[in-house]
Structure 1
Amino acid sequence: MTTRVLILGGGYVGLYTALTLQRKARGKVDITVVDRRPYMTYQPFLPEAAAGSIEARHVVVPLRRELSGARIVQGKVSQIAHAERRARVETDFGDTLDLEYDEVVVALGSVPRTLPIPGLAENGIGFKWVEEAINLRNIVLGRIARAASTEDARTRQRLLTFVFVGGGFAGIEAFAETEDMARAALRYYPELSPSDLHFVMVEMAPGILPEMGPEMGEYTLKELRRRGMVVHLETRLESAVDGVIELSNGETYEADTLVWTAGVKPNPVIGSSDLPTGPKGHVNALPTLQVADEDGAVVDGAWAAGDCAQVPDLAKGDGAWCAPSAQHAVRQARLLGANLAAHIDGRAPKEYRHKNLGTVASLGLHKGVAQVMGVKLRGWPAWFMHRTYHMAQIPSFNRKSRVVLDWTAALFFRRDLVSMGRLHEPRRAFKEAADS
C-alpha cells in the first residue's frame, strides 16, 4: 500500500522534498505537489534576471519536468484541515478541490510583509517572483526611454527616481543590480547622463545587510553611496500617495517607481489552519522537521520546513531558530524527504543541524560582498563567489547549463537592454486598430 504524500508548495522545500522522496521511497509513495505556479523560482538569481544578466526563463525550474511521476496541481491552498487529513485548493478556473492525504508537507513559504502605508498598495511593486523581476526591468528601461523623450525637467526627474524600501539581501541586491543596469543603458541615450538617475533606498534599521555583520554592511553602504545612490537609514516610508514618496526624516521624492522588499511573513493560510504555530505565525516544528504542538509532542502525519516553519537551529544552541534563507530551505528539504522516507519504513528520523557556510551578495556586474567560512571578500572575488555558489545550488543540470551559457554570452556581448513593457498589454495594438 502506498502512502499519499501531499506537498503544499512548489518552492525550494516542495521541489527538493519531492525529489528526495522519489529517490528514497520509490514505489512506496504517491506524491502530489500543489502550487499556484507551475515552476520553482530560484530567487537568488532574480536580481540578475531583472538586470538582464540571466534570461528570466532560466531562473525557474518547471515542476512537471523535474517531478516526472508526481501529480502537479496548479492552484492556491485555501484551507488545511489536518484533523481530517485534507487540504482545500482553489484553482485559477474557480474550481475547488479537496485533496486527502496520509502525510502532509507544509512548504508554503512566505509572502511580502506589507504595512498599511497610504499609497503603497496602489503604487508599490514587489520583488519575490520572476514576473516581478521582469516587470521591474521593463519599468526601469521604459522610464529611461520616456525620460529621454521629454524636455520637462520635473517629469524627467520623476521618471528617473527609483525608490526601494528594505535593506536586506533581496532589497540591496535588487537595488544595486537595477542601478547597474540603468547606468549601462544610458550609453544608448545621449540625452541623459548618470547624474539624472536617482536611486533611493529606505531602511528602518541603523544598517543594511544585517546578515553579513556590521563591517560588510558598512562597506556595502559606502560602495552604494560612492556610486551616487542615496541610502536613508533609520527611516520609514510614511506615504506614497500619487507617487509622492514621504519619508519619516522629512525627505520627499516624486517617483513613478516604488519597490517594496521590506521583509516577509509566513503564508497566511497557516494561521487559519489547525496546525500549531509559533509566536510569529510559523508552523511549529522539531529539529526532525516534524510538526509539534506547544508541548513538543509530534503531530502525526505533518511535516514543515523553509520560510513558513519555525525550526530550531541546533548549530547555534537553545533558543535559536533557523533564518528564512535558501541555504537552510534546501538542506531542510533534503533531510525532510529522507526523514519522511525513513518514517514510512518505520525508522527514526534524524535532526537538522547545519552551520551557516557564509553569505554572498551581488552589487552589480563584477561587484559584490561575501563572507564565507570566516573569510571576507569584496568586489570581483565576492561577485565571482556569488555566481559560483548559486550556480551550484540551482536545481537541475538543464538550468545550470542555461545559466552558464547566459554568462558566457555576456563575456562577448553586452547585455540586452531592451524594454518589453508592452508584453503586459498584449492586446493594446490590436484594440487600438479595431477601435479606429
Structure 2
Amino acid sequence: MPRILIVGGGYAGFYTAWKLEKKLRSGDAEVTLVDRRPYMTYQPFLPEVVAGSIEARHAAVSHRRHLRRTRLVAGMVTAIDHAHRVVTVRHNDGHRFELSYDVIVVTAGAVTRKFAVPGIAEQAIGLKNVEEAVAIRDQLFTAFDLAAGLAPGPRRRKLLTVTFVGGGFTGVEGFGELLSLATALLKRYPEINREELQFHLVEATGRILPEVTDGPGRWVVRSLERRGAHVHLNTQVTSTVDGHVVLSTGEEFDSELIVWATGNGVNPVIGRHTDLPVDHRGLVVVRPDLRIGTEENPMPDAWAAGDDAAVPDLASPVPGALAVPNAQHAYRQGKLLARNISLDLKGKRPKKYLHRSLGAVATLGLGRGIFQYRRLVITGFPAWLMHRGYHVLAVPSWERKLRVLSVWLTAALFGRDIISLAAVQRPRDAFVTGGEPSIPTEDKSPTP
C-alpha cells in the first residue's frame, strides 16, 4: 500500500486525513498523521474561550475520536528529505526517529510572528492555541482578584491594564471579547471602577481588520473606543521589559497582560529544514491543484495546503495573488487535498482549488459583531448572531456543535462562568507546600 504521511494535524491536515478515510477503502493506502497535539484547534473559537463563552475543550477536535483508520504519531516533524522520502520526527518524549513515506502532505501550519522587541519573549503571550486562550482568561481573573485587594497605586494600575499587539482578526476579536469579559466582571468586583480598566490595542498600520474595507474598519475602531478602549494606529511597540510598554509615539504605561497577535510567521521547519521548494517568505510553492512545485516542475508525490503553503488564489482578479491564510481556506483546501490525492492514486487528474470568499465576520464581544460581504455591511447584534451561527455550523462533528450550543444556552441563562483555574498550571504546589504559607515573590505591595 502507498504510505501517505501528513505533517501537521491542524485545519488542513485534520480535514485531509478525515476525508481520506471516507474516500479510500481499507487497503488502498496507509495514512499517518504527525502532530504534537492530539487535537485540531478550531481557532475562530479562541476569542470566545478567552471570554469564557466557550469551554476550552470544545474549541478542540480530538484526532483519535474522528481519525479511526489513521496512524497518529505524537511528535513534531523537524526535517523533511523528500529526495529520500523520509522525515525526522521528534517524539513528545524527546527521542528522535525517522519515518519513511511514499506520499507527503505538508500542512504544518504557521507560527505566531514575532519581532526582536525587548521584553516580548519574557512578557507576552500568543493567541494561537487553546492553552494560550485559557491562560489569557485566567490571567485576567487573577489580576482582578489581586487588584481588588490593593490600594490605588502603580501595582493596581498595572494589574488592570491589558495590551493587545496586532489589529488583524485574531487581535481584534480577542481584544473585543476580553474587553467584554472585563466589563462584565465589574459588577462582581465593586472595589474596581470602570475608569481603572485600561485596554490598549496597538496596530502598526493605519487601520485594523484588513479583511474588511476602510469604512467598516473605522466603525470597529469607533465602537471599541466608545467602550473605553484605546486604539493606537500607525504605532509600534518598542519595548515591554518588565511589563513596561513603550510605544513608538512616545507613550508609556505598565501592563500586566500583553497579548502578541501580529499575524502568522514562517514555520521554521518548512522554511529552513526541507528540500521542498519554498518562496522568498519561506512558504511552500504550490500549484493550483495543491501539488508542490510549479506548472513546469511539479514535485511527484508531494502536496501542501494551509498557512505554510503559497496557494494561488484563482478567484482573485489580481495576478499572482495567494489565498489568505485563514480557516475558511484551510478547511476547504484540506477537503480538496483528500479528493486530489484519491484521484491521483487512481490515475485521474486532480482538481484546481477555487473558492470565492463568503465574506468576513468578526465578534467584538458579547452581542457585538461585524459582517461584510462586498458592499453589504451588518454591525452589532445581528452580525454577532451571524458569527455564532456560521461557526457552530463550521466546527467539525455534531458532537462538537451540540457541546458548544449547550454552553451558549447555559451562559444565556446563568451568565458566564468566572472561575479562574490559573493554579492548574502548577498542580503540585498544594501537595509540595502541604498548606504551609509561602511568601509571594512578585508582589509585596501592602493591602489597604
The verdict on a shared fold, with TM-score over 0.5 as the criterion, is yes
Amino acid at match of 2:355: H
Q: CA RMSD in A?
A: 1.2
Contact 2:411 2:417 in 1 (8 A): no
Cα-to-partner distance string for 1:317-368 (whole Å, 9 max, x where unaligned): 4211100011111111111110000000000001001111101000000100
Q: For the residues of structure 2 that align with 1:63 and 1:83, how far apart are their CA atoms? A: 29
Task: Give the letter for the 1:109 counterpart.
Answer: G
Query: Paired residue for 1:210?
Result: 210
What residue number does 1:78 align with? 78
Provide the rounded CA distance (Å) in 2 between the counterparts of 1:34 and 1:222.
44
Residue aligning to 1:170:
170
Moved more, 117-126 or 93-102: 93-102
Counterpart in the other structure of 1:288:
289
Does the 8 Å CA contact 2:82/2:276 hold for their aligned counterparts? yes
User: In the alignment, is the contact (CA less than 8 A) between 2:284 and 2:310 conserved in 1?
Assistant: yes
| 1:24 maps to 2:19 | no
Structure 1 residue 431 displacement after superposition: 1.5
The residue correspondences of 1:11-410 to structure 2 (distance < 5 A) are 11-27=10-26, 28-271=28-271, 272-293=273-294, 296-317=296-317, 318-372=319-373, 374-410=375-411
| Partner Cα distance (1:339, 1:423) in 2 | 44
CA distance in 2, matches of 1:435, 1:345: 67
Question: Using the alignment, how far apart are the partners of 2:164 and 2:372 within structure 1?
Answer: 24
- Distance, in Å, in 1 between the alignment partners of 2:257 and 2:153 is 17
1:284-331 CA deviation, whole Å, 9 max, x = no partner? 0000000005x7411001000010000110111421110001111111
Residue 400 of structure 2 aligns to a residue in which SS?
helix
Letter in 2 for 1:424: Q
Partner Cα distance (2:374, 2:15) in 1:
25
Aligned residue type for 1:76 = M
- CA distance in structure 1 between the partners assigned to 2:378 and 2:229 by the alignment: 22
Give the deviation of 1:421 after TM superposition. Answer: 1.0
Deviation of 1:266 (Å): 2.6
Equivalent residue letter for 1:395: P
Give yes or no for contact 2:40–2:60 (8 Å, CA) kept in 1: yes
What amino acid sits opposite 2:86 in the alignment? R
Residues of 1 paired with 2:343 and 2:52: CA distance? Answer: 43
**Preserved contact between residue 163 and residue 200 of structure 2 (Cα < 8 Å):** yes
Aligned-partner SS, 1:281 = coil
Extract unaligned runs of 5+ from structure 1.
Answer: none
C-alpha contact 1:358 1:373 (8 A) present in aligned 2: yes
Q: Matched residue of 1:307: which SS?
A: coil
Structure 1 residue 243 displacement after superposition: 1.0
* AA in 1 matched with 2:4: V
Q: CA deviation at 1:95?
A: 1.5
Please tell me whether the aligned partners of residues 78 and 88 of structure 1 are also in contact (alpha carbons under 8 angstroms). yes
Name which of structure 1's ranges 359-368 and 90-99 shifts more when overlaid on structure 2.
Answer: 90-99
Paired with 2:243 and 2:8, the residues of 1 have a C-alpha distance of: 35
- Which consecutive unaligned segments of at least 5 residues does structure 2 have? 438-448
Alpha-carbon distance in 2 for matches of 1:277, 1:10: 21
Q: Look up the match of 1:428.
A: 429
Q: Does the 8 Å contact 2:114/2:265 carry over to 1?
A: no
Counterparts of 2:25 and 2:373, CA distance in 1: 36
Contact 1:358 1:374 in 2 (8 A): no
Give the paired residue count.
434
Paired with 1:336 and 1:254, the residues of 2 have a C-alpha distance of: 47
1:286, 1:292 within 8 Å by CA — same for their partners in 2? yes
Instruction: Assess if the C-alpha contact under 8 Å between 1:286 and 1:296 holds in 2.
Output: no
* Distance change in 2, residues 1:296/1:219 (3 Å): farther
Supply the distance in 1 between the matched residues of 2:29 and 2:86 (Cα, whole angstroms). 17
Alignment deviations for residues 262-297 of structure 1 (CA, whole Å, 9 cap, x no partner): 11123110122000001211000000000005x741
TM-score scaled by length of structure 2 = 0.95
- Native 8 Å contact 2:203 2:234 kept in 1: yes
The structural deviation recorded for 1:152 is 3.8
Q: Partners in 2 of 1:99 and 1:178 — Cα distance?
A: 42
Measured in 2, the distance between the counterparts of 1:424 and 1:265 equals 27
- How far is 1:83 from its partner? 0.5
Q: TM-score, normalised by structure 1?
A: 0.98
Which residue of 1 is the match for residue 412 of structure 2?
411
Deviations 1:110-137 (A, max 9, x none): 0011001111100011110000000000
Higher mean Cα deviation, 37-46 or 264-273? 264-273
